[in-house]
Amino acid sequence: MTATDARRRRRLAIGLALATLVLLVAGLAAGSDGWSLPDLARTWAGPDGALIVGQIRAPRTLGAWLTGALLGLAGAIAQGLFRNPLADPYLLGSASGASLGVVLLLAASASGGHAIGLATADTLARIGLVGAAFGGALLGVLLTLTLARGAQQTTRLLLAGVVVGVMLAAASDLVTSAVPEALRGKQAFLLGSTGYLGWGSCAALAVGLALTLPPSWRLARALDALTLGADTATSLGVALPKVRVALVGAIALATGLAVSQAGLIAFVGLVAPHLVRRFAPARNGFALLASAAAGGTLLLLADVLARSLIAPREVPVGVLTALLGGGYLVWLLHRRRVA
Amino acid sequence: MPASLIRGVRVSAWRWRLAAGAVALALVSAAQAQLAVRDDRGATLRMSAPPQRIVSLLPSLTESVCALGACARLVGVDRFSNWPGSVRGLPKLGGIDDAQIERIVALRPDVVLVSSSARIVDRLEALGLKVLVLDSRDHADVQRSLIAIARLLGTPSEAERVWAVIERETQAAVERVPPALRGRRVYFEVDTTPFAAGAGSFIGETLTRLGLANAVPVELGPFPQLNPEFVLRAQPDIVMAVRPALAEMPRRPGWPALRALREGRTCGFASDRYELLVRPGPRMGEAAGVIADCLVAITARDAATKAPR
């Protein structure tokens, strides 16, 4: 860790903070008329100002940032814990679990009246997609952990995650082929959506971030020790099994919450930690915080673009994160080859 | 019998056979020419006789065949076809993207009716089946499909009869629209994401016919995915959606401020009624009636709340 690295870290931190601020304002100014600052003033002063800006744009903007932050954090933890730069927060079966939960709910409500009683349908509606996605994500992670017999062995855990992911995805495909009506809702969920993030979602996401970020940050030193290998980490006095369980729990909670509020948003969890490592090599503590900020910035940028590119129409935000994130990775590969 | 005479008889018999063959050929080609139907991709389908075994892979085409009085000739349908009730017992052959080609071929249909978005057209034709490709996106498509199918069935005048029924039903619906609601702006949601039916869509055309305006202008396309904020700023006079979606709207951020929701100027359609509304087929006159029913009910509710106690 040289002085240059410290300077780069400072520069990255300032850059992310500035970008977040600018994008927060941009998020308030981006609406169904496209993107315009003078318009923001006019809308705010207008009769529906408090409603449009206060109830829709503000929570959507903040919610997009928080969702991205949770995904970025989960991605950074996953990449540190599995010592694999391709690790992704969706790796533990949470994504496929969540989409199975959503598909089951959609299928149940589509065949409602025939197969299930009215009371059941009402209960299902009340639990809603959020509950189904969160429950599904937790179920996916629990299955993976059971199959891997805990979080002790990294390779086993990764393999179990892949297997659970494939199986649950197949199960949800099976449900959609039996009840095709569930397909449309599933599509929206798979592409991700920030359109309906309200203050309630923001509160849930903020609580999630508050529950996962501080403990992960405290365990970051264990991740640092882990970069030297599991044996060395243990000899340095790291209680590896406990650390693994805690961090896998954090990944599950962060991903489950993000997915339940905004659907499966692609690439943010994978790209945000890369972005941070690329600009400022650092220990895991800084990397976790910066990855969360980078994830938030990335998703908020995608959200602002989704709203303003073809306003008042929208581009699915998941498509934009995949384009931005994938484009960044392609650029990275290209530069490496040139170098 | 002299040899020359015998030869003469033989020659005349040969000539006669040739003439008879030519006449038969002409008759067959005349029949073929009678049954030449142009489809929506520009291909001309030629058949020697009206098809007796028909497979339809689109609900609106299934409905058109039945409305034209040829329901009994259907031998298989796609999985979404559910009207009239008699088609429910037919073999279900999958959907547009996952049609079961093997079962279709095994049914030996004389013709397969599909929409232009179907990927399987080439595959079916390569297997020697006759395929009629018909669009069903707007009112004009419905009329053109009816004419094409009626000609194919050998009953061209039926198309006029069915279209006249549609027109009569639509006109009756138009007359039932309460005068106070004419020209009101409607937001018709087709998916909770939210996707809306714009003025250029099939549903938009029906709304226009009923004298209603659309909150989503035609330049946004038939079914645009909207920024939810757009709906709030548009403050539509009437909100229409499938019932569960309508029930969920007040839980969306900011949506309780929609005046139409607050004042109950809404149409929440039961799923079978909703299906009728979004399906461009021969029941579109009935669909206009469903919307008119809802408008009448809105007016009645308005009157009840305004009435002095």
- pTM listed for this prediction: 0.82
Residues of A in contact with B230 (CB under 8 A): 32, 311-312
Same domain for B132 and B44: yes
Reported residue count of chain A is: 339
Domain assignment present for B160: no
| Span B94-139, pLDDT tens digits | 887 788 999 999 999 999 999 987 778 989 999 999 999 998 888 9
Same domain for B241 and B292: yes
Residues of B in contact with A188 (CB under 8 A): 191-193
Same domain for B28 and B47: no
- Residue B38: its H or E element: strand B36-38
Same domain for B183 and B300: yes
* Separation CA A284–CA A24 (nearest Å): 27
CB A233 within 8 A of CB A59: no
Same domain for B65 and B21: no
pLDDT value for B4: 47
Same domain for B123 and B198: no
Look up residue B12 and give its DSSP letter. H
Look up residue B17 and give its DSSP letter. H
- In this predicted structure, the answer to whether residue A285 has a pLDDT above a threshold of 80 is yes
Residues of A in contact with B232 (CB under 8 A): 48, 51-52, 56
Q: Which amino acid is at B151?
A: R
Structural tokens at position B176: 């039932």
Reported residue count of chain B is: 309
Q: Which amino acid is at A34?
A: G
Same domain for B116 and B195: no
Residues of A in contact with B192 (CB under 8 A): 185, 188
Alpha carbon of B213: minimum distance to chain A alpha carbons (Å): 18
Alpha carbon of B110: minimum distance to chain A alpha carbons (Å): 28
Domain that holds residue B150: 35-154
pLDDT value for B2: 47
Higher pLDDT, A89 or B15: A89
pLDDT value for B289: 97
Coil, helix or strand at residue B230: helix
Same domain for B197 and B126: no
| B2 vs A: CB within 8 A | no
* Separation CA B203–CA B207 (nearest Å): 6
pLDDT value for B175: 96
> For residue B1, what pLDDT band results from cuts at 50, 70 and 90?
very low
What is the number of other CB atoms lying within 10 angstroms of the CB of residue B14? Answer: 10
* Separation CA A274–CA A271 (nearest Å): 5
- Work out the average pLDDT over A94-102: 85
pLDDT value for A1: 57
Contact B192 A185 (CB under 8 A): yes
What is the number of other CB atoms lying within 10 angstroms of the CB of residue A139? Answer: 19
Residues of A in contact with B191 (CB under 8 A): 184, 188
Residues of B in contact with A123 (CB under 8 A): none
Chain B interface mutation, best of A35, A51, A191, A197, highest count of B Cβ atoms under 10 Å? A51
| Span B149-196, pLDDT tens digits | 999 999 999 999 999 999 999 999 999 999 999 999 999 999 888 899
pLDDT value for A187: 76
- Work out the average pLDDT over B65-87: 94
Q: Which of B123, B154, B185 is the last residue of a domain?
A: B154
pLDDT value for B167: 96
- Work out the average pLDDT over B25-39: 64
SS (H, E, C) chain A: CCHHHHHHHHHHHHHHHHHHHHHHHHHHHEECCEECHHHHHHHHHCCCHHHHHHHHHHHHHHHHHHHHHHHHHHHHHHHHHCCCCCCCHHHHCHHHHHHHHHHHHHHHHHCCCCCCCHHHHHHHHHHHHHHHHHHHHHHHHHHHHHHCCCCCCHHHHHHHHHHHHHHHHHHHHHHHHHCCCHHHHHHHHHHCCCCCCCHHHHHHHHHHHHHHHHHHHHCHHHHHHHCCCHHHHHHCCCCHHHHHHHHHHHHHHHHHHHHHHHCCCCCHHHHHHHHHHHHCCCCHHHHHHHHHHHHHHHHHHHHHHHHHCCCCECCCHHHHHHHHHHHHHHHHHHHHHHC
* Separation CA B85–CA B69 (nearest Å): 14
CB A263 within 8 A of CB A130: no
The rounded Cα B72 to chain-centroid distance in angstroms is: 19
Residues of B in contact with A31 (CB under 8 A): 227, 229, 233
> For residue A124, what pLDDT band results from cuts at 50, 70 and 90?
low
Same domain for B53 and B16: no
Q: Which amino acid is at A119?
A: A
- Work out the average pLDDT over A153-163: 85
Structural tokens at position B212: 């209603």
CB A243 within 8 A of CB A222: yes
What is the number of other CB atoms lying within 10 angstroms of the CB of residue B296? Answer: 14
Q: Domains of chain A, with CATH numbers?
A: 3-338 (1.10.3470.10)
Residues of B in contact with A132 (CB under 8 A): none
CB B118 within 8 A of CB B40: no
Structural tokens at position A262: 């905004």
- In this predicted structure, the answer to whether residue A180 has a pLDDT above a threshold of 80 is no
Q: Based on the structure, what is the number of domains in chain B? A: 3
Chain A interface mutation, best of B92, B192, B193, B259, highest count of A Cβ atoms under 10 Å? B193
Contact B193 A307 (CB under 8 A): no
Percent with pLDDT over 90 in chain A = 32
pLDDT value for B230: 93
pLDDT value for B156: 93
* Separation CA A31–CA A53 (nearest Å): 9
| B217 vs A: CB within 8 A | no
Same domain for B142 and B28: no
Bond into B179 cis (ω within 30): no
Contact B244 A32 (CB under 8 A): no
Domain assignment present for B163: no
Structural tokens at position B226: 């909207």
CB B146 within 8 A of CB B126: no
CB A302 within 8 A of CB A317: yes
| Span A221-257, pLDDT tens digits | 999 988 888 888 888 888 888 888 889 889 888 988 8
- In this predicted structure, the answer to whether residue A25 has a pLDDT above a threshold of 90 is yes
Domain assignment present for B168: no
Alpha carbon of B148: minimum distance to chain A alpha carbons (Å): 30
Question: CATH number for the domain including B218?
Answer: 3.40.50.1980
Structural tokens at position A214: 């501080």
Same domain for B285 and B237: yes
- Work out the average pLDDT over A102-130: 63
Coil, helix or strand at residue B240: strand
Q: Tell which phi-psi region holds residue B128, choosing left (phi > 0), alpha (psi between -120 and 50) or beta.
A: left
- In this predicted structure, the answer to whether residue B13 has a pLDDT above a threshold of 80 is no
pLDDT value for A206: 95
Structural tokens at position B198: 């714009």
CB A292 within 8 A of CB A277: no
pLDDT value for A91: 79
Same domain for B233 and B209: yes
Domain assignment present for B172: no
Domain assignment present for B243: yes
Structural tokens at position B302: 């308005």
Domain assignment present for B159: no
Chain A interface mutation, best of B227, B246, B249, highest count of A Cβ atoms under 10 Å? B227
Q: Tell which phi-psi region holds residue A83, choosing left (phi > 0), alpha (psi between -120 and 50) or beta.
A: left
B95, B191, B224: residue with CB nearest A180: B95
Alpha carbon of B187: minimum distance to chain A alpha carbons (Å): 14
Indicate the range of A180-194, A276-290, B156-170 predicted with least confidence: A180-194
